[in-house]
Amino acid sequence: MNEHRNSQRLIVAGGRKLQGEIAVQGAKNSVLPLLAATVLCKGTAVLHNCPKLTDADAAFRILDCLGCKCEREKSVVTVNGEAMCNNQVPDGVIQEMRSSIVFLGAILGRCGNCRWSTPGGCELGARPIDYHLEAFRQMGVEVENDAGFMNCTAPKGIQGARISLPFPSVGATENIMLAAVTANGSTEIHNAAREPEIVDLANFLRKCGAKISGEGSSTIAIEGVKELYGAEHTVIPDRIVTATYMCCAAITRGELLLTKTKQDDLSPILPVFERIGCSVYTYSDDKIYINARKPLSSPKKIVTHVHPGFPTDAQALLMALTTVLPGTTIFEENIFECRYKHAGELGRLGAKINVKERVAVVEGVKRLSGAAVKSTDLRGGAALVVAGLAAEGVTKIGNIHHIDRGYESIEDALHSVGANIKRS
Ligand code: EPZ
């Protein structure tokens, strides 16, 4: 199966204006910490709007290894965390997905000890976890590195602590929250991440009985409780997938109605589309209409920041769009050390992009030409789909397993609004 999946390609014939309606999937970066949180719960948790993604499947495999019973019925996932009977997960299962590290906080919160495979880097760079481990040490966890594993023990149990993060890391904030909700005493997280996925996790944990406040701000306060009980929760919409489909509408000069989305989470992104010249209408909080029939031009500069700044995950997607917008666009990537790998592949389609360290300069060209390209990572792969929709001729995109990590049947969604795209 793996070989077959890795040999699959997306074949895109460019030139079609997109028109129609797409219902946006649940957020990958929310469902992963939510699934980890079910480990802490007695009884059963029910998560609605769970997207069908290979990263979600990897999380289910981790839960299965722990002994938690997982069931999926369409987009509804049920997890019985109480059934957990093991705190060891095979190295190979952990290594399938870098963000499996978020299970460590939950397992420590549940059992107080764990031997966990040290996550490697990924396409975006080293991806260190020093902020996570330093916070756990402050919470009474002893971490010993042992041949690629971390032996984590808490002789006196997990203790609440006052933690100041050197950087508002999303994963570290989530891991600390998961370890703190059933810790002895209170925890304060200073310089916490403010992303919508943090707020979603806090909302779910509170439904399960956690005492937590301040989520969405830079200071989160948590008072440890004895037990959590599984609750019912709906995963927030995926703001990066929303931005992806908006780029698809814009690059094809089409119009799309995006439903089941959440405009509040898009506040850093929507103004960029308006600066480009798109007409963007938001109504009833969960619907966004984008029309790109007017002449478009470069947004001039896009600088990525932590939330509520422009999200790093949308950088590749907007870069694909700007390759065919008149004018020069300067990108500044401030979150990851090498998040421009897609620039080379976009160049194979005729894009003019000059990368120097954290800055990429895009000179808009009149047209792109279809070619064979390879996904370099999740969002870089999606960027090639965006570009392929506008490129003259056929674009063949390989390594699409990267895309399947975060997009639920991207070809079906785009085909339903007029794109000539298929998986082969
Ligand atoms: C989450 O990754 C997301 N992944 C990423 O989305 C997203 O790009 C990132 O947050 C930033 O928003 C998930 O939620 C599963 P960080 P995470 O810790 O938690 C450095 C996608 O495309 N750092 O906020 O790993 C780190 O190297 C993915 O959906 C340390 O130095 O991101 C990076 O430069 C890609 N030490 C910066 O902080 C640490 O201990 C931000 O990382 C932790 C992080």
pLDDT, one tens digit per residue, over 247-278 is 999 999 999 999 999 999 999 999 999 999 99
| Residues belonging to the chain | 424
Per-residue pLDDT of 108-143, as tens digits, reads 999 999 999 988 777 777 789 999 999 999 999 999
Model-wide pTM > 0.75: yes
Question: Rounded CA gap, 181 and 205, in Å?
Answer: 8
Residue 339 pLDDT: 95
> Atom 30 (ligand 1): residue with closest C-alpha?
128
When pLDDT is cut at 50, 70 and 90, the band that residue 410 belongs to is very high
Q: How far apart are the first and last CA of the chain?
A: 14
Residue 2 pLDDT exceeds 70: no
Question: Rounded CA gap, 365 and 351, in Å?
Answer: 7
Beta-bridge partner residues of 26: 237
Helix (H) or strand (E) holding 241: helix 239-251
When pLDDT is cut at 50, 70 and 90, the band that residue 6 belongs to is low
Per-residue pLDDT of 229-241, as tens digits, reads 999 999 999 999 9
Ligand 1: distance of its center to the CA of 335 in Å? 8
Average confidence score pLDDT of the chain: 96
**Residue (of 203, 190, 216) closest to 308 by Cα position:** 216
Question: Rounded CA gap, 250 and 245, in Å?
Answer: 9
Residue 127 pLDDT: 81
Residue 1 pLDDT exceeds 60: no
135 Cβ closer than 6 Å to some ligand 1 atom: no
For residues 395 and 370, is the Cβ–Cβ distance under 8 A?
Answer: yes
Residues 6+ apart with CB under 8 A from 2: none
Q: What is the DSSP string of 275-326?
A: HHT-EEEEETTTEEEEE--S-----SEEEB-STTSB-GGGHHHHHHHHTTSS
33 Cβ closer than 6 Å to some ligand 1 atom: no
**Residue (of 421, 389, 422) closest to 246 by Cα position:** 389
Which atom number of ligand 1 is nearest to the Cα of residue 168?
24
Tokens of 243: 């931005």
| Mean pLDDT value of segment 49-59 | 97
When pLDDT is cut at 50, 70 and 90, the band that residue 337 belongs to is confident
**Sheet of strand 219-223: strand arrangement:** 162-164, 186-190, 219-223, 211-213
Q: Which of 124, 335, 341, 379 most suits a substitution to test ligand 1, by most atoms within 8 Å of the C-beta?
A: 335
Residue 317 pLDDT exceeds 60: yes
Q: Which of 28, 54, 122, 170 most suits a substitution to test ligand 1, by most atoms within 8 Å of the C-beta?
A: 170
Per-residue pLDDT of 67-121, as tens digits, reads 998 999 999 999 999 999 999 999 999 999 989 999 999 999 999 999 999 887 7
Determine which one of 65, 122, 247, 338 is catalytic: 122
Residue 403 pLDDT exceeds 60: yes
* Residues of the chain above pLDDT 70, percent: 99
Per-residue pLDDT of 190-220, as tens digits, reads 999 999 999 999 999 999 999 999 999 999 9
* Residues of the chain above pLDDT 90, percent: 93
Residue 283 pLDDT: 85
The alpha carbon dihedral of 175, 177, 183, 185 has a sign of positive
Residue 119 pLDDT: 84
136 Cβ closer than 6 Å to some ligand 1 atom: no
Residue 124 pLDDT: 78
When pLDDT is cut at 50, 70 and 90, the band that residue 5 belongs to is low
Ligand 1: distance of its center to the CA of 366 in Å? 35
> Atom 21 (ligand 1): residue with closest C-alpha?
313
Which atom number of ligand 1 is nearest to the Cα of residue 377?
22
- Active site (annotated) includes residue 122: yes
Question: Rounded CA gap, 290 and 277, in Å?
Answer: 10
281 Cβ closer than 6 Å to some ligand 1 atom: no
89 Cβ closer than 6 Å to some ligand 1 atom: no
Question: Rounded CA gap, 47 and 233, in Å?
Answer: 5
> Atom 4 (ligand 1): residue with closest C-alpha?
29
